[in-house]
Structure 1
Amino acid sequence: MAGASVCCVAQPASWCVPGTLGSLSEGSPCHHPAASSSAHATLPGGGVAWRLPSLPQTTLPACLSVPVGGHQRRYSRRLAVRGSVESPAVVPPPPVAPAAPACIVAVVGASAASPLQGEPWTAVMAHMAQRLLWTDPAFVMHVVRDTDLPPIPSSQGSAPPIVVVVGVHDDAVGQRVVQRYAEALTLMALDCGPAVEAAVRLGGSFQHPRSALAGLLAKLPWGPAAARRQLAATIGSAWGRNRADDVLFGLLLLVDAFVRPVPQLAGLRAQDLGTLQKMATKCGPQIWACLTDASCKQALDCLNACPPNDQVCSYRCIVTYESPLLEAFSLCVLQKHNCLGLHAEPPALPAVQPMAAFRGQPLTHTAAEDIFVGWLRDPARQQAGRLAWSWRVVAGVNAAYDSFPCQYQLFYRGKARNSLWYDPVFKVQKLDSGEVVWRRRHYRVRRGDAPGTFYFSVLDNGVTSNEYWRIVDCPDDLSWALFYYAGAAAAAGQAYSGAVLVTPDGDWPGKEQEERLCAALDAAGIKLWELYRVDNKSCDGAPLDISSKELSPQGVESSLFES
């Protein structure tokens, strides 16, 4: 069920059996292409080219799969976008053959608090176990409290491929954890004491060398040691950002490196020389124009400095330096020609359902659109109780897109039959100068198959994003609403999801709404500690005008107020 936390206690040798997957080799599920050096480059839209040297060959236990409910077919509907560019060059990759499940054990300090609003690490990692299953039903993680360690198994080869120790600060407890999982080839630590940190190892190689020779080899700038250092640094950087999405990203990196490739991380893999040749051939003028313009060059430098998969950093760079030249660069390199050969689809899970009824009646498409239009007044009339906006965002889940200050939502009907437009307006503090500016986007919105579901599409700085939105809940008095979305910028190889809690004034809903709000969050698979509160102070001067050329002749206001 969406939103339910899963906390499985591992039993000794009951979920992993002795055996091997064999050495990692070309064509095997765990193979990673070799590369001669390590580097990464972040591109507009969040796509990342990451060169990672091949990891050493190793053997892993064959883990038994834990039964999981049927995997919903991935969302694949294409959206026709008026005024945007569809890229026929974005071709889905071939399907990945079934492989061994990812068996992870997370050993968590029973009383440790996380930096995620102080939520206990046990609750955070239980939710991460559920989110791993939403990523792939084969990505199984068992969460074990450090006070409930199972006994050391008598048989050899029964260690899990990956052990992650979280929030274990006491060295005596840490020693017991390290001893219990001494056979695990990969052990990573998050927010732990020295005893656990000293035992960190990736693929059987300790990150803190235990001999002079090992220390010398670990300093080499190439080869397996360099690959492991970069992997450890990337995971450490992600976990150091103290965001739920980045905790999940670190876990997926471990699965990708030591069990089998994770399709969602394909954008991190290195590009070959042919990529550069294609970029120069197809988009030479756009690349040259960007590189010779100071602001556009700053944008590329800013993106290149972002850590892999840090969508917050990437989008902050984009909204700081957005310009016609940057848009032309991205439009050509990514959207029109897909020079990097990337692909992404909106996440299919959790399968969040729209609200079924509103004001005692089954929800209709028209009523759902009226909920979106919300409190917006007709610009041609002054209507009591109406506002210059539909909704204001109180809090959001996605740190990259939902946490900007002063977020206004403008939903309004267009001239075409059943057409709807969405303009989010938000404030940005530029990274280079600290200047505060307003940004605005323009989405086309189309009805989904079921009332309360919608397809959104936008051309954002040269890259098309397609999103699937659902109205999770909204009280009869329109005092608040919860909107959930899952999207992808396919040409940038970026998939994402999020949700926004909205009210007419930007304030948190009243306490009398707490139970219903928590139920809505749970239905969307969201924990309260995953929300980012939006700063709604000093929001004067927002550009909220709507062009009369795009307005429906019947007006923009919601009919929900007529009664």
Structure 2
Amino acid sequence: MSPEASPTHLRRHFPSPFLLRRSSFSAVVGSCRFPSVRFPHCHPSQLLRLVSSPPSFLPATTTDFRGRPTKIPAILEQEAQETVDPPPGSPVKIVAVVGGGSVSPLKSATWEEVMLHTAKRLKWVDEAYEMLVFTDELEESDAGRTKILETELESADILLVVAVTNQASIDWIQNKGKLVPNVICFDSSSKLVNKLGGTDVQKESKDVVETVAEAWSRHNTDDIRFCLLVVINAYIRPVPILKNLRSKGFSTLTCMVKNCGSQILDCLFDPNCRKALQCLNRCSPVDQVCNYRCIASYESPKLEAFSLCVLQKHNCLELDAKIPEKPSVDPMAAFRGQEMTHEIAEDLFVGWLGKLEWSWRVVAGQNPAYDQFPCQYQLFYRGKAKGSFWYEPVFQVKTLEGGAMVWRRRKYRVKRDKLPGTFNFSVLDNGVVSNEFWTIVDVCDELTWGLFHYKGAARVAGQSYTGAVLVSPDGRFPSEKERKRVASALEKCGIKEWELFEVDNCSCHDPPLGIPDGSALHSAIDVRDLKLASN
């Protein structure tokens, strides 16, 4: 690799292509649920680390997925700062410079497209975050645009450089960007030096650098946004949604021992629960795929009792996550020419159940934490009790011992919200309650595909998240003639098609389907004449 193409200090290589390809949304032990998308990097195993690590190890270090000691990322453990933080809501300006025509790993979308989309997603977190995106084709562009870039850099808080290897561009950035206090460079020339808080970054072991580098390496839009939030939080002003990511150290341990001593001992003496502790200690604190696979591989009543006591009953982490307000997604207004009603909306969820053994199969979703798991089935049905409605996702997990594929199933209570086509979901999963707000964005008349958006929070786990799932009766993408409508539905959710991660639906043998006796299905839509699309 030539020097111009080599990664900068923030770039970090991982031994596993799985980690490079996949990211996940956090799961504090016991709070992993399906299907959901969580805000990334919630230090998923900090509770179990407190139990399984020596007390003297707690305040400063943890163990990453390679098994070597490393500092807890700065977002998880912040030291007191001498400077006074700017007030919440004060403007933050980011200037991004990307290589002209450079292609990202996100399904070959250009880096310019990815950064423009990231700028919109930053607004979901805080309207005061502004990111301006420029290409490095400075000599080819008109002098006016180059002057605009130079002017914007004078007041920029962060300069983000992506895929810049052209020598003329490197020289220009080094000259014009030298006064920007924070400079972070990815997939660019090694001649470009990273800078945080006005100081050049030379050591890759620096806390913020490690956190940002690891997140960037997973190459998805949630982690790209997270990288910027980490820098804002550490060097510009606090980011409220990151406040739940800081380790509580001994105060958490005290709460656990005082209130949950028997559950801790039961977990340590239970083989599966103990293996979960050991497995989580081998995971990087911000690698939720690793953390969830540990929990899904070693699920046990003892592990559930542990998290139920520590998190749900006593909230030892002292967290209080809220369901995100943005994006605000409108439900579809009508189906087959009829105004949307609660009954029709519920029938759309029920989907193909009755005609098939399931309501829908998940084709793809916006979050790799969700979509890494193969063979996802959705079961929606009306319960025996009047007005009751239930959702049960069924999915596979590849266990860490022997790589066996095992089935997992969850159960959500579903209640109508005020507007037809919107619903409130709740689930107690592995000891932790999660609440979600779902919206039926679009379903085609023939029920050959649908798009459901959701946003939610696991309050005591400190996690908030948003996402969407594209579904069909057979787990295949909609036909080409439907792609324009699918793209329009995704756009309503603030999602690009190149953000989607496909679910592996190839080898789905003997899924544990079925619904309780006495359950009811459709009440307003007749699915008896529906036909699956031919291959």
Whether 1:339 and 2:342 are equivalent positions in the alignment is no
2:474 to 497, 500, 505: 505
How far apart are residue 558 of structure 1 and its match?
Answer: 5.5
Do residues 323 (structure 1) and 300 (structure 2) align? yes
CA distance in 2, matches of 1:50, 1:306: 17
SS at match of 1:257: helix
Q: Relative to 1, partners in 2 of residues 1:370 and 1:117: Cα closer, same or farther, differing over 3 Å? A: same
CA drift at 1:335: 0.8
Q: What secondary structure sits across from 2:475 in the alignment? A: coil
2:113 is aligned, of 117, 123, 139, to 123
Residue identity in the other structure for 1:446: K
Corresponding residue for residue 206 of structure 1:
200
Amino acid at match of 2:336: R
Cα distance in structure 2, aligned partners of 1:559 and 1:139? 45
CA distance in 2, matches of 1:363, 1:36: 54
Tell me the equivalent position of 1:268. 245
1:271-310 maps to which residues of 2 (within 5 A)? 271-310=248-287
Give the SS at the match of 1:193: coil
Partners of 2:63 and 2:458 in 1: CA distance: 17
1:39 alignment partner, one of 61, 71, 88: 61
Q: Which residue of 2 aligns with 1:351?
A: 328
Q: SS of the residue aligned with 2:368?
A: coil
CA contact (8 A) 1:393 1:503 kept: yes
Distance (whole Å) between structure 2 residues aligned to residue 514 and residue 115 of structure 1 = 22
Contact 1:234 1:307 in 2 (8 A): no
Deviation at 1:184, TM superposition (A): 1.1
- After the TM superposition, which residues 17-56 of structure 1 pair with which residues of structure 2 at under 5 Å, given as runs? 38-40=60-62, 51-52=76-77, 54=79
**Deviation (angstroms), 1:55:** 7.8
Cα separation, partners in 2 of 1:39 and 1:264, compared to 1, 3 Å: farther
Cα 1:98/1:261, change in 2 over 3 Å: closer
Q: Is the 8 A contact 1:175 1:195 kept in 2?
A: no
Report the identity percentage.
49
Contact 1:41 1:50 (8 Å CA) reproduced: no
1:175 corresponds to 2:171 = yes
**For 2:505 and 2:373, how far apart are their aligned partners in 1?**
9
Equivalent pair of 1:480/1:504 in contact (CA under 8 Å): yes
Asked if 1:441 is matched to 2:406, the reply is no
Stretches of structure 1 lacking an aligned partner (at least 5 in a row):
1-34, 43-47, 63-96, 209-217, 220-225, 378-385
Instruction: Give the alignment's TM-score, normalised by structure 2.
Output: 0.81
Which residue identity lines up with residue 105 of structure 2 in the other structure?
Answer: P
SS of the counterpart of 1:517?
helix
1:92-135 C-alpha deviation (Å, 9 max, x unpaired): xxxxx634222111111121111111110000011110000011
Which amino acid is 2:207 matched to?
A: Q
Deviations 1:10-32 (A, max 9, x none): xxxxxxxxxxxxxxxxxxxxxxx
Query: How far did 1:181 drift?
Result: 0.7
Q: Given the superposition, is the C-alpha separation of residues 37 and 232 from structure 1 closer, same or farther in structure 2, using an over 3 Å criterion?
A: farther
Change in 2 beyond 3 A, CA 1:353/1:402: farther
Hey, what does 2:378 align to over in structure 1?
Answer: 409
Unaligned ranges ≥5, structure 2: 1-56, 65-72, 139-144, 530-535
Query: Is 1:479 matched up with 2:436?
Result: no
Q: Give 2:4's aligned residue.
A: none
| Secondary structure at 2:134 match in 1 | strand
The Cα offsets for residues 519-556 of structure 1, whole Å up to 9 and x where unpaired, read as 101111110011011111111200002221xx33xx32
Q: 1:111 aligns with which of 101, 108, 116?
A: 101
- Structure 2 letter corresponding to 1:52: E
Superposed CA offset, 1:244-278 (max 9, x none): 21111111101101111111111222314222111
Instruction: Write the distance in 2 (CA, Å) between the matches of 1:230 and 1:167.
Output: 23
TM-score (structure 1 length as normaliser): 0.77
User: Hey, what's the Cα distance between the residues in 2 that align with 1:258 and 1:235?
Assistant: 13
Q: Following TM superposition, by how much is the alpha carbon of 1:313 offset from its aligned partner in structure 2, in angstroms?
A: 2.9
- CA distance, structure 1, for counterparts of residue 333 and residue 79 of structure 2: 50
Contact 1:420 1:445 in 2 (8 A): yes
Residue 160 of structure 1 aligns with an amino acid whose one-letter code is A
Partner of 1:187: 183
Tell which deviates more after alignment, 119-128 or 297-306. 297-306
> Are the counterparts in 2 of residues 185 and 203 from structure 1 also a CA contact under 8 Å?
yes
Between the aligned partners of 2:103 and 2:504, the Cα distance in structure 1 is 25
What secondary structure does 2:521 align onto? Answer: coil
Alpha-carbon spacing, 1:329–1:391, altered in 2? closer, same or farther (3 Å): same
Residues 411-426 of structure 1 mapped to structure 2, 5 A cutoff: 411-426=380-395
Q: Could you say what secondary structure the match of 1:194 adopts?
A: coil
Aligned pair 1:467/2:450, yes or no? no
Range 242-251 or range 122-131, more displaced: 242-251
Amino acid at match of 2:444: P
Amino acid at match of 2:390: W
Q: State the match for 2:290 in structure 1.
A: 313
Classify 1:153/1:370 alpha carbon distance in 2 versus 1 (closer, same or farther; 3 Å): closer
CA RMSD, 1 decimal:
2.7
Partner of 1:141: 131
Residues 297/172 of structure 1: CA separation in 2 closer, same or farther (3 Å cut): farther
Q: Cα distance 1:232–1:38, how it changes in 2: closer, same or farther (>3 A)? A: farther
Instruction: Give the distance between the partners of 2:447 and 2:516, measured in 1 at CA.
Output: 25
Q: Does the aligned pair in 2 maintain the 1:37–1:51 contact within 8 Å?
A: no
The aligned runs of 1:64-83 (5 Å cut-off) are none
Specify whether residues 514 and 558 from structure 1 end up closer, same or farther in structure 2 by C-alpha distance, changes over 3 A only.
farther
Pick aligned residue for 1:370 from 328, 334, 347: 347
- Greater RCO (CA < 8 Å, at least 6 residues apart): 2
**C-alpha deviations, 1:203-224, integer Å up to 9, x for none?**
122122xxxxxxxxx69xxxxx
TM superposition shift of 1:154? 9.6
What amino acid does structure 2 have at the position aligned with 1:507? R
SS of corresponding position for 1:346? coil
Q: Is the 8 A contact 1:234 1:308 kept in 2?
A: no
Aligned position for 1:561: 526
Deviation, structure 1 residue 49: 10
Q: Deviations over 1:42-88 (max 9, x none)?
A: 9xxxxx9965353875799x8xxxxxxxxxxxxxxxxxxxxxxxxxx
Secondary structure of the structure 1 residue equivalent to 2:505: coil
The answer on 1:158 being equivalent to 2:154 is: yes
Q: How far 1:306 moved relative to its partner?
A: 3.4
How many matched pairs?
459
- Residue of structure 2 equivalent to 1:74: none
Question: Deviation string for 1:440-491 (max 9, x for gaps)?
Answer: 0001100011000000111111111111000000111111100000011111
Local SS of the residue matching 2:371? coil
1:236 equivalent to 2:213? Answer yes
